[in-house]
């Protein structure tokens, strides 16, 4: 693992596999070490494979679990805004955009979760408020897609139906093929359909993590 705490790392984009050093940031100059995002994410994914899944972390060795937690605690604030803790889950919104919904899902998996899944009205209200109260975000990708059958919204992870659909008036419009679900701050954090691929460098995504750390 690189020494990720020795400098402020600027993260400009989410192209998985690239390294990052933002020399334009005041605390980051050419002496800053490069933050190898692919290395970090691959390490986390590999560690999870070795530990089977987060659901059975308690069966893994204590040392491995502890090492994983230490790494995640160090990396999480670099990549994500301060979390929301709700109903024994931790929700985080990325500080960087996604190139595709699959890429966003990879990040969420690496950090022990999945794209945030709205299962009931209480969770929906909490996540709406979370988006509204997180600075510097507007559009936030969450779980839900109608890519398989247009107009039928399902969670990508489980294939189950999305039980809460609270659309912004005029949405979903499937404008130019929009098959992924997002919460849109400027419309009260309500739902919109958007392309599953890259749309804007302003867009972010939200992970739902098991509350392990
Ligand atoms: Ca659609
Ligand atoms: Ca739309």
Q: Per-residue pLDDT tens for 77-107?
A: 888 999 999 998 999 999 989 999 999 999 8
| Ligand that comes closest to the CA of residue 151 | 1
| pLDDT of residue 152 exceeding 90 | yes
pLDDT at position 31 over 90: no
**How far is CA 18 from each of CA 12, 74, 76, rounded to the nearest angstrom?**
11, 19, 18
Compute, in angstroms, the gap from residue 159 CA to the centroid of ligand 2: 21
The answer to whether 68 touches 209, Cβ cutoff 8 Å, is no
* Cα 186 to averaged position of ligand 1 atoms, centre (Å): 21
Whole-angstrom distance, CA of residue 185 vs CA of residue 212 = 28
Specify the higher pLDDT residue, 4 or 161.
161
- Ligand (nearest to CA of 193): 2
User: What's the gap in Å between 15 CA and the centre of ligand 1?
Assistant: 25
Query: Which ligand neighbours the alpha carbon of 172 most closely?
Result: 2
Ligand of minimum distance to the alpha carbon of 154: 1
Backbone angles phi, psi at 132, to 5 degrees: -65, -30
Q: Which ligand is nearest to the CA of 177?
A: 1
Name the phi and psi angles at 142, rounded to 5: -125, 180
CA of 176 to the centre of ligand 1 (A): 9
Going from the Cα of 101 to the center of ligand 1, the distance in angstroms, rounded, reads 14
Q: What's the token pair of residue 154?
A: 């399902």
Tell me which ligand sits closest to the C-alpha of residue 180.
1
Q: What is the pLDDT of residue 91?
A: 97
Ligand 1 centroid distance, CA of 151 (Å): 6
Cβ neighbours around 22 below 10 Å, total: 16
Residues 142 and 116 sit within 8 Å (Cβ to Cβ):
yes
Distance 153 CA to ligand 2 centre (A): 13
The answer to pTM > 0.85 is no
Residue-wise pLDDT tens digits, 114-141: 999 999 999 999 999 999 999 999 999 9
Q: What is the rounded average pLDDT of the residues 34-60?
A: 59
Cβ(157)–Cβ(115) below 8 Å: yes
Which residues, in sequence order, are CB contacts of 179 under 8 Å at separation 6+?
145, 146, 147, 150, 193, 195, 196
Sequence-ordered strand ranges (E) for the chain: 19-20, 35-36, 84-86, 89-93, 113-115, 139-145, 180-184, 190-194, 204-210
CA of 194 to the centre of ligand 1 (A): 8
């Amino acid at each position: 693992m690189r020494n990720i705490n020795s400098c402020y790392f600027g993260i400009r984009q989410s192209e998985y596999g690239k390294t990052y050093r933002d020399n334009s940031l005041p605390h980051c100059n050419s002496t800053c070490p490069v933050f190898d995002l692919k290395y970090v994410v691959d390490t986390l994914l590999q560690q999870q494979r070795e530990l089977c899944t987060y659901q059975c972390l308690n069966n893994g060795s204590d040392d491995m679990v502890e090492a994983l937690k230490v790494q995640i605690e160090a990396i999480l604030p670099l990549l994500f805004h301060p979390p929301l803790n709700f109903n024994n889950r931790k929700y985080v919104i990325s500080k960087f955009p996604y190139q595709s919904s699959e890429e966003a899902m990879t990040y969420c998996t690496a950090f022990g979760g999945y794209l945030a899944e709205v299962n009931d009205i209480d969770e929906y209200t909490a996540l709406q408020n979370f988006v509204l109260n997180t600075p510097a975000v507007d559009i936030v990708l969450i779980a839900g897609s109608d890519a398989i059958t247009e107009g039928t919204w399902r969670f990508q992870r489980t294939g189950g139906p999305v039980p809460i659909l609270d659309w912004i008036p005029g949405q979903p419009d499937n404008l130019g093929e929009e098959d992924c679900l997002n919460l849109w701050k400027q419309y009260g954090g309500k739902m919109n359909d958007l392309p599953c691929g890259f749309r804007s460098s302003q867009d972010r995504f939200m992970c739902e993590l098991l509350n392990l750390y």
